[in-house]
Structure 1
Amino acid sequence: MADPAQVPPDVRELVDAVEHPVRRRDAETLLDLMSRATGETPHRDGSIVGFGRYRYEYASGRSGDAVAAGFAPRKARTVVYLMDGIDAHREDLERLGPHQHGVGCLYLKDLERVDLAVLERIVADSYRTLTAGTYGLRAREGGT
């Protein structure tokens, strides 16, 4: 369970408002896991619980900053954001357990069914990649 003193009130409010008991339990687990994996304190970014920020600049010239690691407890499943792209984590994803994914999102229905050590490694690797300097790839280009 995340140290209550380290969870800002707006993040606590978001997690406590999750109605589905499995999503709420998984959100508590992810608060701990992502805090360890990133060394960051959680912050709220809309409906996302974020950890740290990264700077991106694409070849098109578009640039900005975004959450470096994060999750969102959605109604149907929890979303873990991997903005360096799913392909960058292909080998670990084979060992993760039941999941679905998009280009930069990992969808998990129940964290008790996945290998949390593998998930923590994926989050840590993604965070390290994104925060190593200005990141220049879009999620669909990551890991290639």
Structure 2
Amino acid sequence: MGISNKTKVQLMLRGDAKTVFRPKRPVAYSVQGAVEEEIQRLLSLGILKPVDHSDWAAPIVAVRKPNGQIRICADFSTDLYNVLEPNQYPLPLPEDIFTKMAGCIIFSHLDLSNVYLQVAVDQQSQHLLTINTYKGLFQYTRLTPGIKGVLFSS
């Protein structure tokens, strides 16, 4: 899996943000082996790093993908989502995009498999992306799916 070296994600907290450390959730015994394998895979790719302490932590949910593999999802909806500053960058409307494409004859299709995990998170924001698992605490060094309000810095 590659990594984008053009930019890094920066998470900005609102001024009234208070740290939140949520306890780990139980993971079904039937998927614990697969969860451990996925944690090891993410560690070996440098996407996760173990930490001994964090003021922020979110529990995980193990989701089985259609291909049978496990996706580790952090439940940041517990509190982090509520204190992140929203990204105010105006996205274009689909109608505007289609208008600009009028008359085009060459198109491409990109498969952005695990695209979130290819975008680095700046060092100052990584502590916010700590997950609490039955195997301990880990921080994401790259963007995890579902994070809102990200800003990109060079």
Q: Output the TM-score relative to the length of structure 1.
A: 0.27
Q: Output the TM-score relative to the length of structure 2.
A: 0.26
Report the structure, 1 or 2, having the larger helix content: 1
Higher relative contact order (CA 8 A, sep 6+): 2
User: Which structure has the larger Rg?
Assistant: 2
